[in-house]
Amino acid sequence: MDSDTLYSIGELARRTGLTVKTIRFYSDRGIVAPTDRSPAGYRLYDIDAVARLDLVRTLRELGLDLPTIRKVVDRELSLPEVAAAHAEALAVQIRVLRLRRAVLTAVAERGSTPEETELMHRLTQLSEDERRRLIGDFLDAVFDGLDAAPAFAGVMRSMTPELPDDPDAEQVQAWVELAEMSLDPDFRAAVRRMAEDQAAEQTRSDTMGPRRDIAAAVRDQVGPALTAGIDPASRQADPIVAAFTAYYAHLLDRPDDVELRRRLTTRLESVNDPRKERYLQLLAVVNGWSAPESLAPVFDWSVQALRVRTPQ
């Protein structure tokens, strides 16, 4: 082809790989106008039409609408500006599709009811402000009246999920499950009890100087015993149990007696609630953190060790 030659629609179709019908459609829309007409009235196009059709095909494959494409080929709009706007719109569509895929995947894996499916869908449609309010309501219910202490302010921050702008399917599914948990009254009440117990211990600790909470103390004492394979009912476990019960007695300024050990057993069972561990696992997924270490084996060992040594 040269710059002076005019071509019929059929010749243009062979050159571009588009169908005659498609080229005629673009021509009717004024996107690729004919340069002239033959004596018989057929449309004729110059070499520039090839370049325009190649560009039109590319932009259509990228999803741009015809009115926008016409403005681009007519140089009424800058192609880079159009590309940037379209890329942003695609990013929004991709995010929506990811959310839908995550919901459908969760429904399939969990065997959800229609009501549960509707709830999951609504949770994924929340704006960032709405997500913050939902979690804020949960944390307020758990820590209301306790959040004045600096330690609890830090705990509240560490329990706050931050779903990224472009989450993957796993993060979306984790967010949905975490949000459902935060709405569960039983879970809220359980976490509230843990917070109140820790606050009571913290209040006593503050009068004696900074102290680790009992969960951290038990973890440090029992962790090596677990690694060493010590049976919680064996005599080898006696000094370990004595150490963390003595610490708890000192923390509460109470004697290390049967009543204290019963109280400690209840406290560790509360801390060992699997729902709390699940919340922290989901939180790590949503926030892109490393998976938290499970303390369930530590608390299971401690509770068993206390029970065999405490009269019922």
Q: Is the pLDDT of residue 1 over 50?
A: no
Q: Do 7 and 44 contact (CB within 8 A), yes or no?
A: yes
Q: What is the pTM of this model?
A: 0.69
Contacts of 265 (CB under 8 A, 6+ apart): 303, 306, 307, 310
Give residue 2's Cα distance to chain centre: 57
Q: Write out the two tokens for 105.
A: 């995947």
159-188 residues labelled b (16+ CB within 10 A) or e (exposed)? bbbebeeebeeebbbbbbbbbebbeeeebb
Task: Report DSSP state, residue 210.
Answer: -
Residue 307 confidence (pLDDT): 96
What does the alpha-carbon distance between residue 160 and residue 290 come to, in Å, rounded to a whole number? Answer: 15
C-alpha dihedral (300, 306, 309, 312), degrees to nearest 10 = -100
For residue 234, the SS3 value is coil
Q: What is the pLDDT of residues 267-310, one digit of tens each?
A: 999 999 999 999 999 999 999 999 999 999 999 999 999 999 99
Task: List, in sequence order, every beta strand (DSSP E) within 205-306.
Answer: none
- SS3 sequence of 95-116: HHHHHHHHHHHHHHHHCCCHHH
Question: How much is the average pLDDT of 90-111?
Answer: 80
Kindly report which listed range (61-75, 127-141, 230-244, 252-266) carries the lowest average pLDDT score.
Answer: 61-75
Residue 87 confidence (pLDDT): 85
Q: Write out the two tokens for 252.
A: 């509460």
Question: How much is the average pLDDT of 8-21?
Answer: 91
Q: Is the pLDDT of residue 207 over 70?
A: no
The terminus-to-terminus CA distance of the chain in angstroms comes to 98
Q: Is the pLDDT of residue 96 over 80?
A: no
Q: What is the pLDDT of residues 105-154, one digit of tens each?
A: 878 887 888 888 888 888 888 888 999 999 999 999 999 988 656 667 78
Q: Do 237 and 231 contact (CB within 8 A), yes or no?
A: yes
Give the percent of the chain with pLDDT over 70: 95
For residue 253, the SS3 value is coil
Contacts of 123 (CB under 8 A, 6+ apart): 175, 176, 179, 180
Say if residue 65 is exposed, middle or buried (CB neighbours under 10 Å; 0-12, 13-18, 19+): exposed
Q: Do 283 and 161 contact (CB within 8 A), yes or no?
A: yes
For residue 212, the SS3 value is coil
